[in-house]
Amino acid sequence: MSDHSITETPMQKDRAVTIFERSRPGRRAATLPPVDVPERPLDELIPAHLRRERPAELPEVSEPEIVRHYNRISRRNYDLDTGLYPLGSCTMKHNPRLNERVAGLPGHARLHPAQDPKRAQGALELMWLLGEALAELCGLPHVSLQPSAGAHGELAGLLLTRAYHADRGERRTTVLTPDTAHGTNPASVTMAGYQLVKVATDERGGVDVADLRSKVTDEIACMMLTNPNTLGLFDENITEIASVVHEAGGTLYYDGANLNAIMGHSRPGDMGFDIVHVNLHKSFSQPHGGGGPGSGPIAVSDRIEPYLPVPRVARRDPGNGSSPIYDLDHERPKSIGRLRGFQGNFGVFVRAYAYILSLGGDGLAEASETAVLNANYLLARLREGRAAKYLPPAFERRCMHEFVLSGRPAKRELEVTTLDIAKRLLDFGFHPPTIYFPLLVEESMMVEPTETETRESLGAFADAIEEILAEAERDPELLKQAPYSTPVRRLDETAAARRPVVRQALGA
Amino acid sequence: MTRYTSATDADRREMLARIGASTVDELFAELPAEVRLDREVGLAPAMAETEVYDVLARLASRNAHAEDELCFIGAGMYDHYVPALVDAITQRSEFLTPYTPYQPEVSQGHLQAMFEFQTAMSELTGLPVSNASLYEGPSSVAAAGYLAAGVTGRRRFVCSRGLHPHSREALATYSEGYGTEIAEVGLDGGVTDPAGLAEALDGDTAAVFLQTPNFLGAIEDVATLAVRAKDAGALVVVSVDPMTLGVLRPPGELGADIALGEGQPLGGRLDFGGPSFGFFCGTDEHLRRMPGRIAGETTDVEGRRGYVLALQTREQHIRRERATHNICTSQALNALGGIVYLSWLGKQGLVELGELLAQRTAYARDRLSAIEGVGLIHSAPVVREFGLRLAVPVAEVLDRCAAEGIAAGYPLGRDYPEHEDGLLVAITERRTRGDIDRLAGALGRAVADSRTPKPRTPEVVRS
């Protein structure tokens, strides 16, 4: 037991019990419709050697038990509807309930993906309209909604790049990313069969253009960037970077994770990007659901368009004053092909489109303004207190929608790490920011408050950081053992990696 | 001010003063003029909530959906009943609105649900380990290809033509990146031709991809095919419809190294194709190479049981270019729906449902293939889906059935030119005997009418 142990809270006393442990033989929740057709011996339908001998050990529980079980465990989660969730690069903005309602309309929720397109005109029109809106926001004319998430969009972008070069008879082998890139970027580079080349960051936090120039060769297929970057800083040299990459014959890929900073103010297409992915679960309010579902549509320039995934939504104007007709176009000979089944995460498209209509063009621009205002306000508040000393900004610049702090002084002077500060924040009722990313900054803490937080909630967070750093001055051990009040305390992740237990053992 | 932001003019003044700026625009000063948008963004102005609802409801009303027509379309996603408690639980704020559980102390709800999900999927497929879900079915097949190429160092895949066309296409798309060739094995009598498989295998084959029941509904003899694949040193990847695993022998008992598939039937909506989830199960040997999140059990500093994201050193945020996959999401909410659904169905329910599907499907298959001008594509055993062959153009029949409020099935012609006359029909527990009889009536009329020279004008758009 620790020095700072406290009495167990009721939640902590309520030890984790799985749904399998609640199972009792003979209990059940589902009642099924009767067999209403002439029943035949199963052996006649499916030969015995193809059939299961022993039923799968699924739980045997009644409906009230299921509801109670999942309600109880749900309370062991922190969630955005309850409080601030300032995770950098994740854009945890409010998830409007209206979007859930419209996504649940039977015309959306019970529409079969293989429905004849002429009988799914509303869905295809919605996809078309969403694509048009994203094209306008990105400054790139052609959109595919198919990728399922940001990383899926990245893979699509790299495969598009490969197809584009192959079509020109070129075979290129390397992809550049800044050393501040999201981890998915390098992983996508490998999956797409390219070699990664890292580009350094300059003293202002942007791409080191001299280093870039030294690494650009005719082997370069693509450069992947986000702007503002993962330090929350806008790269002022973006047009120069674009021309360096373009002159070498590469494509420029925009990781849209940070689009929330610039909607309606600046467009990746106008910066020179050829391919952009947009995270509908970040900038466009799709709930994160505990880590998915998301959606990562891509917008591309004219030269990339022939290679977009199939199928594409097509619109035909029959003339004679009747409304346009929508279809799915599969006949695209230069396409990279499919990335997944059917048309993409349509339910997410509905929510994103409802969000775009709710805010409108002016509202989206205001959302970005407020996101930037909120981040700068929180940064200013932190600079007024002990954070200036122990947890200062990694770069002395105004930030965009997020900023990165470094806990290096706290570690040196107080012997508390960024992890300790993050864990102590849990006791204060806040979800901590992203920590230890970007890798470039020692003991980093990456804070993105989003536009949907109030001035008061930002102030409360700044106050909590102040109080925690004051605690650290008095008693660093208090932080090292935090959290105390959460449903469980620090967990042994090393044991979980060394001897992984990834399923429950069930009696046969 | 938008309805989702709170900064009033007074707030802005106070905040800007603290920042030391006079206008919000000043905060954007570092954006060079040449990349600033010098006009209003070209989107309509904000709408009231009620107006947004009306726009979306109007779009939804232009779709013919399973609430008001009989849906016999399957092809990988099925119109099963989603129990009320699945929606009630997945719509709870505590499950709907958190991020990925990077802070396990305050994410035990989702982590435990993932662990339970993994246990259930592992039980269903008969393989020892499962991940916490991937995007959806076909991209999970592609992910298995990436794993197999990495594990074996080989450069060829052999793929059954019975594998979902979207899975085959996704696998081909991904393979283009890391440079793997794909050979296809045809079907014979509705199932993968074992001789063709033997011929296609060679020493450079990384994996064999099968699906059971396959796209045409036929149950494959996976065990026999797997033996041949293993003799060639290839991994056996089997895509399965989880809803059939109450009655079908699990892939883990048939020699599969990896079993995966589309999770939508397990408590997921149709949603015009997504979001759903993909599941991915394998042997212990491949645990450290698996794509996606995996929850693991451990203890906290006071010895209480708890859960964490295990084996994160496989993942992109740690391993970067050496990660086992680029995926950085599970479909946590959909997979939660999956475990809630499986708990609802329970040990007996899954078996009963599988048997119900098999009985109704047998009835439908007999009933429909008895219609004049309608035959079977194959007579192999099926569980819940089967292929018909029509003596008249399929598109015309579909239009005629649609006019009677029935989506009769999935036309096979685009994906299988050899079955230009083919129609795939799927049954769920929502399609009663009466519904099947209605389909039989409509199909009979449609086929008969299509043989007469005077076709009706097909419905174009529902209003």
Domain boundaries, chain B: 70-81+348-451, 85-340
Query: In 3D, which of A177, A226, A237, A227 has the Cα closest to residue A203?
Result: A237
Query: Is residue A472 a contact partner of residue A479, using CB atoms and an 8 Å limit?
Result: yes
Rounded to an integer, the average pLDDT of A164-180 is: 96
Strand pairing of A220-225 and A174-178? Answer: parallel
Positive/negative CA dihedral, A81, A84, A87, A91? positive
Q: How far is CA B457 from the centre of its chain?
A: 34
pLDDT score of B463: 41
Please give the Cα distance from B240 to A289 (Å, whole number): 25
Element (H, E) at B441: helix B433-451
CB atoms within 10 A of CB B444: 17
Q: Which chain B residues are closer than 8 Å to A197 by Cβ?
A: none
Rounded to an integer, the average pLDDT of A320-329 is: 94
| Per-window interface: A 235-294 vs B, CB < 8 A | 236, 238-239, 262-267, 270-271, 285, 287-294
Q: Count, in order, helices (H) and strands (E) of chain A.
A: 18, 12
HSE of B156, CA atoms in CB hemisphere, 13 A: 13
HSE of A263, CA atoms in CB hemisphere, 13 A: 32
Rounded to an integer, the average pLDDT of B423-434 is: 98
CATH of B70-81+348-451, one of 3.40.50.1220, 3.30.300.30, 3.90.1300.10, 3.90.1150.10: 3.90.1150.10
Three-state SS for A217-243 is: CCCEEEEEECCCCCCCCCCCCHHHHHH
pLDDT score of B454: 57
User: In b/e form, how buried is each residue of A294-307, taking b as 16+ CB within 10 angstroms?
Assistant: bbbbbbbbeebbbb
Under the banding of pLDDT at 50, 70 and 90, the label for residue B461 is very low
Q: Does B370 touch chain A (CB under 8 A)?
A: no
Q: Does A345 touch chain B (CB under 8 A)?
A: yes
Q: Which chain B residues are closer than 8 Å to A266 by Cβ?
A: 31, 35-37
User: In b/e form, how buried is each residue of A125-147, taking b as 16+ CB within 10 angstroms?
Assistant: bbbbbbbebbbbbbbbebbbbbb
Q: Where are the domains of chain A?
A: 139-316+323-355
Q: Does A112 touch chain B (CB under 8 A)?
A: yes
> What's the pLDDT tens digit per position in B121-132?
999 999 999 999
pLDDT score of B230: 96
Partner residue opposite A74 with nearest CB, options B94, B273, B359 = B94
Measure Cα distances from A72 to A11, A16, A19, B107, B198 in Å: 9, 10, 11, 13, 53
How confident is the prediction for chain A on average, in pLDDT? 96
Q: Which chain B residues are closer than 8 Å to A188 by Cβ?
A: 326
* Residue A2 token pair: 């620790």
pLDDT score of A4: 63
Q: How far is CA B376 from the centre of its chain?
A: 26
pLDDT score of A320: 87
Query: What is residue A465's DSSP assignment?
Result: H
Partner residue opposite A50 with nearest CB, options B20, B172, B381 = B381
Q: Where are the beta strands (DSSP E) in B123-196?
A: 129-130, 156-160, 181-185, 187-188, 191-192
Nearest CA in chain A to B249: A52
Please give the Cα distance from A142 to A135 (Å, whole number): 6
CB atoms within 10 A of CB B48: 11
Please give the Cα distance from B208 to B201 (Å, whole number): 8
Q: End-to-end CA distance of chain A, in Å?
A: 37
pLDDT score of A2: 45
Q: Which chain A residues are closer than 8 Å to B167 by Cβ?
A: 341
> What's the pLDDT tens digit per position in B130-178?
999 999 999 999 999 999 999 999 999 999 999 999 999 999 999 999 8
Please give the Cα distance from A391 to A473 (Å, whole number): 13
ipTM: 0.97
Please give the Cα distance from A447 to A461 (Å, whole number): 11
pLDDT score of A92: 97
Query: Is residue A359 a contact partner of residue B2, using CB atoms and an 8 Å limit?
Result: yes
pLDDT score of B96: 98
Please give the Cα distance from B201 to B227 (Å, whole number): 12
Residues 6+ apart with CB under 8 A from A41: none
Instruction: State the residue for tokens 């610049």.
Output: A397
* Residue A402 token pair: 């997020």
B85-340: CATH class: alpha beta
Q: Which CATH architecture has domain A139-316+323-355?
A: 3-Layer(aba) Sandwich (3.40)
pLDDT score of B104: 97
Give how far B339 is from chain A: nearest CA, Å.
9
Q: Do B19 and A55 touch (CB under 8 A)?
A: no
Rounded to an integer, the average pLDDT of A357-371 is: 98
Residue that wins the pLDDT comparison between B236 and B330: B236
Query: Is residue A192 a contact partner of residue A203, using CB atoms and an 8 Å limit?
Result: no
Q: How far is CA B227 from the centre of its chain?
A: 27
